[in-house]
Structure 1
Amino acid sequence: MALLLAALLGAALFAATQLLAQRSPALPGETIRAYLLEHPEVLPEAMERLQARENERAQKAQADAQKGVGQHRAAVEKPYAGAFAGNPKGDVTVVAFLDYACGYCRASLPGIAELIAKDPGVRIVYREYPVLGPESVVAARWALAAAEQGKFRAFHEALYAAGSPSNEAIVAAAAKAGLDTTLAQKAVGSRAVEGEIVANHKLGEQLAMTGTPSWVIGGKLLYGARDYQGLADAVALARAGK
């Protein structure tokens, strides 16, 4: 609590210093600081200004990202080989940007499975978005190799069930999914697989994604873990054109 209060006080002092410096640019910094310490009543106003400015920046960033979804929607919704599930001709596409080392991604899997089971009009497109380290990148490459063999979902579920994308877990998931490992190893190092991961990272940057899981549902950008109801609600809004 002490650390939190110190952080808030520091932010308030900084914001108030900025506010006073804008109003009286000729005042030296130490004079402004002394004034603030003598008149702490100005700190709430400064914090309100700071919060409003940060909110404005966040809203602009989100608006820009949403605009980017419209520009790149076709690319976002096009799966790599067999990296999709559900109805291939579904009326609503749910795009999931996932990382095999991400606990929040793993927590979202039951919701995705339930959505597929309950909604025959949904298509799920999986985008490999490894951002949590070298193991994630290797796992993403193997997942795309599995997609080329039409065994993406089996590999995907087996690897998430293992708990972490270690080399041992990847080998076990590949065996469980029935991959031709000779073909898979060639695909893992291929330009196509490398290009897909690079393209996904570029899409993530263009859409201002800060982590995983991230979603594009019916052209709308969403962040964070989602259970079945959260996904179903987003699909319903997409169908309603909202």
Structure 2
Amino acid sequence: MARLYPDAAAALDGLLFDGMTIAAGGFGLCGIPEKLIAGIAASGVKDLTIVSNNAGVDGFGLGVLLHSRQVRKMISSYVGENKEFERQYLSGELELEFAPQGTLAERLRAGGAGIPGFYTKTGVGTLIAEGKEHKDFDGETYILERGIVADLAIVHAWRADPYGNLVYRKTARNFNPNAATAGRVTVAEVEEMVQPGTLDPDAIHTPGVYIQRMIVAADNEKRIENRTVRERI
């Protein structure tokens, strides 16, 4: 149980510093580590590089860190739901490195596996390829993408045991497994802590060897990003 901390502030203590890179799990507002993001915001750490599929929404998720001007650069795939992100980017206040969604997932996975780079066809002939090494394989052109290793990774899981083994729930799995392996230190926010031996070994998505610290957060808001309804027929 030495990996279990009482709250986000305690779990993040000693890990945060200005200018660091943080990989965050989640997709939209699904499977995001809400409490850990709030803890980072409360710490006042700044000049952050955030690696995440997207940047949350205005006032929630990673949007909190954008609102408080703690983010210097985003490495993301999709940022269309955040007007503050748009404003900061267009005004030159925020750096942005776009990465195709599959490429971003593989960059995180590669970093966690100790692979410094890989070649992909995705992005060839577009702005994504500018300044990157090109190489031909079997008559096809590929570009070199670098693996990502973050100073800290923060993830959200459904269940965990005291050893740090994690299980994600359905679509909340998304980028969390890849982000979890890409951090030099990884902190997990879990909904439920279970006894050792409860988790089926074949159902574990992230082995505990990747997880250094955990908190239990059973009361997350789980906000809906876009609610749409249809007219009653």
Q: Which is helix-richer, 1 or 2?
A: 1
Could you tell me the TM-score, scaled by structure 1's length?
Answer: 0.27
Larger Rg: 1
Could you tell me the TM-score, scaled by structure 2's length?
Answer: 0.28
